[in-house]
Structure 1
Amino acid sequence: MKRKLFSILMAIMVIYLVGTSYVYFSSQQPVAEAESETTKMAKEAGITNIQNFYVFNKDETYYSVLGENAEGREVYFAYQPDTDYTKSGFVDEMVNEENALALTLYEMPDVEVRNANLGIENDTFVWEVSFTDADGNLGYHYINATTGEWYETVNDL
């Protein structure tokens, strides 16, 4: 009796693990495909040594990567798959990810910064910095990556 119960519990556990693994990997597939496509587009634009991948969702979805050009200079490359729009900019001429996080903490000292994603809005690179406020609400702080100026905060999501 105990052996049969143990076998049933083990079967249920295996089914649960296989099912949750399938759901997880299926949910990650679109992001992996987007990263692969963006990396391919960046390499076609002469960008190599790709290090970071960002997903920006606001009015449109943009995928961005950080890499290097032929001279070894760090470059951000953004890609919008619906329109095939691409844009690149030099990291040393823009606010980088670390600076975007620091600017958000400086302007909003009472929040917990989560992560930053690079994208395009109105043909300009922008950082979307997600944060959690003191009440546990999610928000987004948008920073113009060219000037370093804040231009919008969305609270209480």
Structure 2
Amino acid sequence: MKEWTKFIIVFLSFLAVAIVLAILFLGNKPFSEAEQAAVEKVEAEGLLDEVERAYVYSSSAQSVTVLGTDGEGRIKAAFVPEEGEIEALMLEGQVTAQQAREIVQEDMEVEEILHTKLGMEEAGAVWEIAFLNEAGRLNYVYLLAEDGTWWKRILNL
């Protein structure tokens, strides 16, 4: 009887791990496909020669931000919306992700930064910084990439 109990426990544990992995893989698949399609579109249009990273940026409309370098070695971002034209932005002279995080950490009570993403909004290119404050509450702040000024704050979620 002991062996059957061990077998059932091991089997259920294996099954639980398999289900969790399947859910994670299938849940991330739409994002991965959107990122890959955006990278292919940016490369096909010749906006970037070398892609460093791509990620989904969600606001009123979902888009994919593709970061990399152009043919002249300049750092550039391409914003690929679900519908519409691709917008490109030279990142030289813009606020960097590290600078945006430092601005937020100076002005807010930041316990842990969850992510920093560059995206396109109606105000222009913005850095979205998601973080937990010292009370453990979720916060989203947006800084203009052009000069690091505050654009929007969504606090204490």
Q: TM-score, normalised by structure 2?
A: 0.91
Structure 2: distance between partners of 1:117 and 1:62: 12
- Counterpart of 2:71? 70
- Counterpart of 2:13? 13
Residue 93 of structure 1: how far off its partner (Å): 2.7
Residue 139 of structure 1: how far off its partner (Å): 0.8
Structure 1: distance between partners of 2:28 and 2:103: 30
Residue 114 of structure 1: how far off its partner (Å): 2.4
- Counterpart of 1:30? 30
Which stretches of structure 1, 4 residues or more, deviate above 4 A after TM superposition?
none
Gaps of 5+ in 1: none
Alignment check: 8 A CA contact 1:48 1:69 kept: yes
Residue 123 of structure 1: how far off its partner (Å): 6.0
- Counterpart of 2:98? 98
Alignment check: 8 A CA contact 1:101 1:115 kept: no
- Counterpart of 2:58? 57
Q: Which amino acid in the other structure matches residue 139 of structure 1?
A: N
Q: Which amino acid in the other structure matches residue 142 of structure 2?
A: Y
- Counterpart of 1:117? 117
Q: TM-score, normalised by structure 1?
A: 0.91
- Once superposed, what is the RMSD of the aligned Cα atoms? 1.5
Structure 2: distance between partners of 1:142 and 1:23: 31
Structure 1: distance between partners of 2:99 and 2:87: 21
1:43 is paired with a residue whose SS is helix
Structure 2: distance between partners of 1:85 and 1:106: 36
Residue 45 of structure 1: how far off its partner (Å): 2.7
For these two proteins, the number of residue pairs brought into alignment is 155
Alignment check: 8 A CA contact 1:79 1:87 kept: yes
- Counterpart of 2:150? 150
Residue 147 of structure 1: how far off its partner (Å): 2.3
1:21 is paired with a residue whose SS is helix
Structure 1: distance between partners of 2:76 and 2:15: 45
